[in-house]
Amino acid sequence: MEELHRLSKDEYEEVAKLPVVLVLDNVRSLSNVGAVFRSADAFRIGELFLCGITACPPHREIHKTALGADETVPWRYFKTTEEACRELKSMGYRIFAVEQVEGSVMLQDFKAEPNTAFILGNEVDGVSEEALPFCDTALEIPQEGTKHSLNVSVCSGILMWNIFEQLFLKKG
């Protein structure tokens, strides 16, 4: 780990995180939840909001995929995504749905800013109708294949890399 310059759990707790929240809106797969935790750790995401049916740590299946990131990444549970959105708005966050909708902004055209939150939706139904009114706009990851759909954990990884690159790697 030393050669890889990886932080210990204690060092990770002390290091600055990106002022970004990812909201998991009724994500049903425990493996997807674990994968989001793992990527959030890699890119120093500030916090995860787990909503509705989204499972919470500690859970064996989440831990198996997260490889311990479920113990490092701060998270909170909300009974509804609407409740999470109200909390984010009260904290001054801008909220973006990651969804394919009319008028969405393509990810490559998005300029990341601090105090932003991103809602990632259910694997089948996408971002819930209750969450959309809280969103400033929607972001879309361009796709050119036949499916025009990404797994939520893959989508979150692409999103987090983009934000990390803009807010951390290019910050100065």
pLDDT at 172 over 70: no
Domain positions in the chain: 18-141+148-169
CATH match of 18-141+148-169 with 3.30.70.100:
no
CA dist 96 and 163 (Å) reads 13
Query: Ramachandran region of residue 67, left (φ > 0), alpha (ψ -120 to 50) or beta?
Result: left
Kindly provide the residue ranges of all beta strands, DSSP E only, lying in 61-131, ordered along the sequence: 75-78, 94-98, 105-106, 116-120
111-126 pLDDT, tens digit per residue, is 999 999 999 999 999 9
Is the pLDDT reported for residue 1 higher than 70? Answer: no
d(CA 37, CA 32): 9
Check residue 116 and give its pLDDT: 98
pLDDT at residue 148, as a whole number? 85
Residue 3 has what pLDDT?
A: 73
How far apart CA 148 and CA 127 sit, in angstroms, is: 16
Whether 77 has a pLDDT exceeding 80, the answer reads: yes
- pLDDT of 5: 82
Mean pLDDT for 59-64 is 97
